[in-house]
């Protein structure tokens, strides 16, 4: 970034800044009566039988991301993905987001605009409008928090609760890629920090493109939700994979008051993810079981509906089945013995 173009936030003024930032809200929805520019965003109602959905995600610098290797527009896209992924996990449609930023001195107007550019790009992909938010100062670290409002017809909403013994446990896409991407970025960052002459962080990541992209610019599964609508299919339960498979299985089985039995060999893991684990001399299943931020969807379906889905949609895998609550969460390992995961959570 050209140093001459570094404008501080103070020099621009809050009103002008917000106006500039909002230029990146490129998708407009008819129901937005008033977006930014007043105390609240105002939305028209859509009639009876529709539920509103609200979700919220916070990302703090130094905890959830490192600005050394996370481009700001990717950061904006990713936080938006996290917020809309929660809406999709209820079988809903995102509509508007509010963006709260806590901004330290080191962040310029142009850098903030980069964040909004990422959110705006996500808005195009997921068809939401940025409808407002708040800006505050921060001493050292950048904080970003996105709330999303969506809606879903009341008889289509899918909760974590509802899985029945015998239901197939399915996941979209593949698992552990975001964790693999993070390992690569952390290694390159460490390498960069150890150089005496620190150049701009421009490592050659072309060999790791897939996993790095999964870490930096994850995509929420809008396509799957649309497929469900097209097929008039309703999973008995659903959750998005924010924290890793085992953790989310605990959430889902806890809410549904059931157990789960799944197969290590069935875990969908990409070749790229496997090759990172090999290079790192680590167990790739750990990436799949405990690595977070894949933003895939996990859902449960009665057996006969699995075939109906598979006829039209291929990007999902059956990894096991729902069992009785007393069985807990168990995984049959590739070698044949069974691992038990303790401590269900609601």
Q: Point out the annotated binding site.
A: 39, 55-56, 64, 86, 116, 133-134, 160, 240, 242, 293
Closer to a copy of itself at the Cβ: 58 or 275?
Answer: 58
**Alpha-carbon span 240 to 38, nearest angstrom:** 33
Q: Cβ(97)–Cβ(36) under 8 Å?
A: no
Closer to a copy of itself at the Cβ: 83 or 177?
Answer: 83
Closer to a copy of itself at the Cβ: 84 or 331?
Answer: 84
Residue 116 corresponds to which tokens in the numbers above?
């909004």
CA distances from 234 to 94, 203, 226, 228 (A): 18, 44, 12, 7
CB of 191 to a copy of itself, least distance (A): 23
Closer to a copy of itself at the Cβ: 45 or 199?
Answer: 45
Q: Cβ(148)–Cβ(97) under 8 Å?
A: yes
Place of tokens 């953790």: 247
Closer to a copy of itself at the Cβ: 16 or 283?
Answer: 16
Residue 169 corresponds to which tokens in the numbers above?
């446990």
Instruction: Compute the Cα dihedral for 210, 211, 212, 214 and give only its sign.
Output: positive
Closer to a copy of itself at the Cβ: 84 or 276?
Answer: 84
Q: Cβ(341)–Cβ(246) under 8 Å?
A: yes
Closer to a copy of itself at the Cβ: 80 or 131?
Answer: 131
**Per the annotation, where are the binding residues for substrate?**
64, 293
CB of 47 to a copy of itself, least distance (A): 6
CB of 127 to a copy of itself, least distance (A): 17
CB of 178 to a copy of itself, least distance (A): 17
Closest CA relative to residue 110, chosen from 14, 216, 17? 17
CB of 29 to a copy of itself, least distance (A): 13
Q: Are strands 93-103 and 129-137 parallel, antiparallel or unpaired?
A: parallel
**Per the annotation, where are the binding residues for Mg(2+)?**
39, 55-56, 86, 134, 240
CB of 161 to a copy of itself, least distance (A): 8
* Spatial CB neighbours of 139, under 8 Å, sequence gap ≥ 6: 104
Q: Cβ(82)–Cβ(118) under 8 Å?
A: no
CB of 242 to a copy of itself, least distance (A): 9
Closer to a copy of itself at the Cβ: 150 or 208?
Answer: 150
**Alpha-carbon span 69 to 61, nearest angstrom:** 12
CB of 168 to a copy of itself, least distance (A): 21
**Alpha-carbon span 292 to 315, nearest angstrom:** 19
**Per the annotation, where are the binding residues for ATP?**
116, 133-134, 160, 242
**Alpha-carbon span 326 to 182, nearest angstrom:** 36
**Alpha-carbon span 54 to 83, nearest angstrom:** 9
Q: Cβ(131)–Cβ(109) under 8 Å?
A: no
Q: Count how many Cα atoms sit within 13 Å of the Cα of residue 73 in the half-sphere of its side chain.
A: 11
């Amino acid at each position: 970034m050209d140093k001459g173009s570094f404008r501080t936030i103070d020099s621009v003024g809050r009103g002008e800044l917000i106006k500039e930032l909002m230029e990146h809200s490129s998708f407009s929805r008819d129901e937005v009566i008033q977006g930014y520019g007043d105390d609240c965003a105002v939305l028209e109602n859509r009639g009876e039988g529709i539920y509103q959905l609200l979700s919220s995600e916070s990302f703090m610098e130094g905890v959830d991301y490192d600005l050394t290797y996370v481009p700001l527009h990717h950061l904006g896209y990713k936080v938006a993905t996290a917020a809309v992924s929660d809406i999709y996990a209820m079988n809903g449609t995102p509509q508007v987001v509010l963006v709260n930023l806590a901004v330290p001195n080191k962040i310029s107007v142009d850098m903030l605009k980069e964040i909004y550019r990422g959110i705006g790009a996500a808005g195009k992909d997921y068809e939401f409008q940025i409808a407002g938010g708040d800006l505050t100062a921060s001493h050292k670290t950048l904080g970003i928090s996105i709330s999303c409002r969506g809606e879903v017809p009341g008889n289509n909403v899918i909760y974590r609760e509802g899985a029945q013994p015998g239901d197939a446990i399915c996941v979209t896409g593949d698992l552990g890629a975001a964790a693999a991407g993070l390992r690569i970025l952390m290694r390159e960052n460490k390498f960069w920090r150890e150089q005496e002459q620190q150049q701009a962080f421009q490592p050659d990541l072309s060999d790791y493109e897939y996993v790095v992209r999964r870490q930096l610019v994850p995509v929420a599964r809008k396509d799957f939700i649309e497929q469900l609508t097209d097929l008039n299919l309703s999973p008995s339960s659903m959750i998005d994979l924010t924290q890793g498979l085992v953790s989310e299985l605990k959430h889902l089985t806890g809410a549904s008051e059931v157990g789960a039995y799944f197969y290590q060999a069935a875990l969908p893991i990409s070749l790229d993810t496997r090759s990172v684990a090999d290079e790192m001399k680590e167990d790739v299943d750990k990436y799949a079981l405990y690595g977070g931020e894949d933003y895939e969807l996990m859902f449960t379906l009665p057996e006969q509906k699995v075939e109906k889905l598979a006829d039209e949609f291929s990007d999902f895998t059956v990894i096991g089945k729902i069992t009785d609550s007393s069985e807990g969460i168990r995984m049959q390992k590739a070698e044949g013995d069974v691992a038990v995961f303790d401590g269900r959570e609601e």
